[in-house]
Amino acid sequence: SQTIHQWPATLVQPVGSPLSLECTVEGTSNPNLYWYRQAAGRGLQLLFYSVGIGQISSEVPQNLSASRPQDRQFILSSKKLLLSDSGFYLCAWITRPIGGYTFGSGTRLTVV
């Protein structure tokens, strides 16, 4: 079966510290993968998407970066976190043939 894994579930990090969030999918190959952020009380904001290994498209200029070192692995990183990076980070992949997204369970990041 097709599943998506995301970790950690919760993270508290100090301002200026690095960040690495990992997302992996199983049961599919060459998926389109996405990173979204949802700030408190706000909608989903697309951060990055990837259509293949090493291919990253950035939607919003920011303090974050993404990488796709393997077909089913998508990583979100930051060298120095800001307070404004706090939020709920969600990884997703497109479920075919329907075309909707399946989301991972998310990482709730609080920068203090």
The residues binding other proteins (CB under 8 A) are 32, 34, 42-44, 46, 49, 57, 59, 88, 90, 94-95, 98-106, 108
DSSP the chain: --EEEEE-SEEEE-TT--EEEEEEEES-SS--EEEEEE-TT--EEEEEEEEETTEEEESS-SS-EEEEEETTEEEEEESS--GGG-EEEEEEEEETTTTEEEE---EEEEE-
**Closest distance to other proteins from the beta carbon of 88 (Å):** 8
Distance of closest approach, residue 16 Cβ to other proteins, in angstroms: 26
Q: How far is the CB of 49 from other proteins (least distance, A)?
A: 4
- Specify the residue, 17 or 53, whose C-beta has the smaller distance to other proteins: 53
Which of residues 10 and 17 has its CB atom nearest to other proteins in the complex?
Answer: 10
| Residue whose CB is less far from other proteins, 79 or 96 | 96
